[in-house]
Structure 1
Amino acid sequence: MAGKLYRILVALIVVIIGIFWITEASAIGAPGFFILFGIVFVGIALYILLKTLFSK
């Protein structure tokens, strides 16, 4: 149970960091691959979060 809660917490933190990454990269006019990296980062975190929430 503690492992599941830990994965949920880490995934939520990663989503927050990823969103911050995307907004800051956009704000400074970074090349598109920096923004894409943030999107992939958030996508992986959401996948892990949903996989953890809906697993038995």
Structure 2
Amino acid sequence: MTIASHLQELRRKHENLSTLVEQEQRSPAADALRIAELKKQKMRLKEEMARLGHH
């Protein structure tokens, strides 16, 4: 897998997590722990994208 394709996959996962966070936050039975975990996953992906983008 090339760096460019890996970055593209990371962006796709980040967008999917963003959608999940939005859905969870709109839910009447929102689970704060699940939202926090999804946000942590998003941050890890963002950090990885930044790290790969500087090469």
Sort the TM-score into its range (normalised by shorter chain): 0.7 to 0.9
Q: CA RMSD in A?
A: 1.2
User: Which residue of structure 2 aligns with residue 19 of structure 1?
Assistant: 18
TM norm structure 1: 0.84
Deviation at 1:36, TM superposition (A): 0.5
- 2:17 & 2:6 partners in 1: Cα distance? 16
User: Which residue of structure 1 aligns with residue 2 of structure 2?
Assistant: 3
Percent sequence identity is 4
User: Which residue of structure 1 aligns with residue 44 of structure 2?
Assistant: 44
Q: Any gaps of 5 or more consecutive residues in structure 1?
A: none
Q: Any gaps of 5 or more consecutive residues in structure 2?
A: none
Note the 1:29-40 alignment, pairs <5 A.
Answer: 29-40=29-40
Kindly provide the CA deviation profile for residues 12-47 of structure 1, in whole angstroms up to 9, marking residues without a partner as x: 101101110110001113210111111011101101
